[in-house]
Amino acid sequence: MADGLTGDGWKRLVSQKDSPLFASVREILDQLDGADWPTLERLNALSKQRDIRNSDAKPIRFVEPCGNASAMAYELQIATSGEIPTRENLHDLLNAMQWLSFPYLKAAINAEHIKRLQHEPGVEAKSRSKARDVLTMFDESGVIVASSDPWLLELLRSFQWRTLFVERRSDVIESMRFHLVGHGLMEKALAPFIGITGKALLLPVADGALDNAVLLDVAAADWLTRPTNLASAQNLAPLPLLGIPGWDVRNQAPTFYDNTDYFRLGRLSKPA
């Protein structure tokens, strides 16, 4: 049984499932028992039903952790057995829900970690590589941003917040989609605050793929397998979540974007 604090967190999550911040896992939330903390058995039933697998095609199972395993041991356990150590807390539950919602993406993150752990075991034991930093950053704080209008992605990449979210607002609503996939960031989103920011993976897509979650999952997984994309954290664009249309009622007022402590001028948009 979940303790009182954890149980309250679950109730809060269920109560907010209609918020756009939780749209990426809403289908899973609808399938879990709303009244009680989801058991490993319930999570595993959904995993089996959805045929969730790791990069080696092994079925994913959520299991109780055995002691305080290292990050390397955690990734190796997923890769070799398909077992994901899952503690009874919101952070790990949200991680499980992301596996159920974006299996290709999560499998790719694990596979890319393992690739580096196996090829550079000594280096990785002492200091995590840049590539693994990017993978971890996205796994914890990632947002998939897809658009059928590449220029909108460029406005986001270059920190042009007012142009993007005010002047091009109707285009954003029509031609952009935002999927919060970082389980650490989703935990923070239970109590959103000015300053909450994601790390965006920017995907140009065709109109027909814009609302296809499976295609976006596959495309994001493919993005993470390209070494050039993992070479620098700057390949993930900072995204102030509360500026996304519909994600906070305050952003209906254009003056909301005047807060430059939150909607910061990036390195690409600062005057010379």
Q: What is the pLDDT of residues 227-242, one digit of tens each?
A: 999 999 999 999 999 9
- Positive/negative CA dihedral, 246, 250, 253, 259: negative
Residue 145: C-alpha distances to residues 5, 64, 187 (Å)? 32, 33, 19
pLDDT score of 121: 55
Helix, strand and coil content of the chain, in percent to the nearest 5, comes to 55, 10, 30
DSSP for 124-154, please give it: HHHS--HHHHHHHHHHHHEEEEEES-HHHHH
Is residue 132 a contact partner of residue 113, using CB atoms and an 8 Å limit? yes
Q: What is the pLDDT of residues 120-133, one digit of tens each?
A: 655 445 557 899 99
Helix/strand/coil for 9: helix
> CA 204, CA 202: separation in Å to the nearest integer?
7
pLDDT score of 8: 82
- Does residue 270 have a pLDDT over 50? no
Q: What is the pLDDT of residues 43-96, one digit of tens each?
A: 999 999 999 999 999 999 999 998 777 888 899 999 999 999 999 999 999 999
Residue 83, strand partner residues: 61
Return contacts of 115-119, CB within 8 angstroms, 24+ apart.
117/72, 117/75, 117/76
Tokens found for residue 219: 């495309």
- Positive/negative CA dihedral, 157, 159, 161, 164: negative
Compute the average pLDDT of residues 148-175.
Answer: 98
Is residue 191 a contact partner of residue 90, using CB atoms and an 8 Å limit? no
pLDDT score of 117: 87
Residue 200: C-alpha distances to residues 13, 31, 120 (Å)? 23, 27, 27
Residue 209: C-alpha distances to residues 20, 175, 213, 253 (Å)? 19, 11, 8, 30
Q: What is the pLDDT of residues 176-192, one digit of tens each?
A: 999 999 999 999 999 99
Report residue 271's pLDDT band, with 50, 70 and 90 as the boundaries. very low
Is residue 85 a contact partner of residue 76, using CB atoms and an 8 Å limit? no
Report residue 224's pLDDT band, with 50, 70 and 90 as the boundaries. very high
Compute the average pLDDT of residues 10-19.
Answer: 92
Is residue 166 a contact partner of residue 254, using CB atoms and an 8 Å limit? yes
